């Protein structure tokens, strides 16, 4: 498939702008009708997931899923390649993210993230981590799945950096399992190390423009077997999750099946 033209990329950029406006409308309507924490309700969670799913289509992400997202309260952890990781995971299953406080100050994106329940954490502060763990525990008690990226930074996807263990304590506090997720990106059937990765000093608008110009990317999410809570220390949970994800990435190949339109209704799609 030929690369998209600049005109097509511009049209897609406008489409994304309309999608963001739709997101603000959703937030205002549901917050007015159901309260400040509308996104923690079952209906609210599905609305957010549906909006993220539509966003994945606007961005040209063809999401393939192997394995089954845990259906109850759990801690989901993943390798981190791009801000696109958030879209892909949130489009697949209802979740609440833990993110660096920097995201809160991103134009548009930060406002929407905060308005849909993202928990922000100031890294490097023990007091902030303990406060975040308490907040996470409150959310998980209601049956929510929490997602964070233990590498603490993005990579191009060739390897998995050491996992920070601090937030893994949330699994034992809430007595909820840890489910590792391996994320891989492909372009035209080959591992993508250039388009999806958002690393170092990449500029968001330029990264988005390049994404639109190539047209489509395949994203593979491998939901791995859960690791039981209170079986290991937080350090052991971090190490085991890191090792499982690294093992999958070493043998990752693209699943050649279409991403079904019904995914936002089913919550996930299982492929062999």
* Domain harbouring 31, CATH code: 3.40.1130
Q: What pLDDT does 269 receive?
A: 34
Residue 178 CA to residue 132 CA, distance in Å, equals 17
Residue 73 CA to residue 178 CA, distance in Å, equals 10
Domain assignment present for residue 249? The answer is yes
Domain assignment present for residue 71? The answer is yes
Domain assignment present for residue 271? The answer is no
Number of structural domains found in the chain: 1
Q: What is the pTM of this model?
A: 0.88
Residue 149's Cα: distance from chain center in Å?
9
CB 147 within 8 Å of CB 183: no
User: Which residues in the chain show pLDDT less than 50?
Assistant: 1-3, 257-272
Task: List alpha helices for the chain, DSSP H.
Answer: 6-34, 42-58, 84-92, 109-115, 126-141, 169-174, 204-214, 234-250, 263-266
Residue 181 CA to residue 118 CA, distance in Å, equals 19
Q: What pLDDT does 169 receive?
A: 94
**pLDDT tens digits, one per residue of 170-213:** 999 999 999 999 999 999 888 999 999 998 777 888 899 889 98
Q: Which DSSP helix (H) or strand (E) runs through 119?
A: strand 119-121
Domain assignment present for residue 272? The answer is no
Domain assignment present for residue 166? The answer is yes
Domain that holds residue 88: 6-266
Domain assignment present for residue 1? The answer is no
CB 180 within 8 Å of CB 77: yes
Q: What pLDDT does 48 receive?
A: 95
Residue 254 CA to residue 62 CA, distance in Å, equals 11
Q: What pLDDT does 7 receive?
A: 82
Domain assignment present for residue 194? The answer is yes
Q: What pLDDT does 254 receive?
A: 59
Q: What pLDDT does 182 receive?
A: 96
């Amino acid at each position: 498939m030929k690369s998209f033209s600049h005109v097509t990329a511009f049209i897609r950029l406008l489409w994304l702008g309309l999608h963001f406006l739709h997101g603000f409308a959703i937030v205002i309507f549901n917050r007015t009708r159901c309260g400040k924490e509308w996104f923690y309700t079952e209906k609210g969670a599905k609305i957010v997931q549906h909006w993220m799913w539509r966003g994945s289509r606007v961005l040209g992400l063809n999401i393939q899923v192997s394995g089954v997202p845990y259906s109850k309260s759990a801690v989901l952890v993943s390798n981190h390649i791009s801000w696109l990781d958030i879209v892909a995971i949130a489009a697949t299953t209802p979740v609440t993210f833990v993110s660096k406080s920097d995201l809160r100050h991103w134009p548009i994106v930060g406002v929407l993230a905060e308005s849909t329940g993202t928990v922000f954490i100031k890294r490097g502060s023990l007091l902030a981590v303990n406060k975040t763990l308490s907040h996470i525990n409150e959310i998980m008690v209601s049956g929510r799945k929490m997602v964070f990226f233990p590498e603490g930074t993005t990579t191009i996807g060739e390897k998995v950096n050491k996992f920070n263990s601090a937030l893994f304590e949330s699994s034992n506090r809430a007595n909820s399992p840890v489910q590792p997720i391996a994320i891989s990106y492909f372009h035209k059937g080959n591992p993508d190390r250039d388009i999806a990765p958002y690393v170092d000093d990449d500029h968001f608008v330029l990264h988005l423009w390049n994404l639109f110009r190539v047209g489509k990317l395949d994203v593979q999410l491998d939901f791995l077997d859960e690791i039981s809570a209170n079986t290991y220390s937080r350090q052991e949970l971090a190490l085991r999750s890191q090792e499982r994800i690294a093992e999958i990435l070493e043998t990752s190949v693209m699943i050649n099946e279409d991403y079904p339109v019904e995914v936002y209704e089913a919550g996930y799609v299982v492929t062999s």
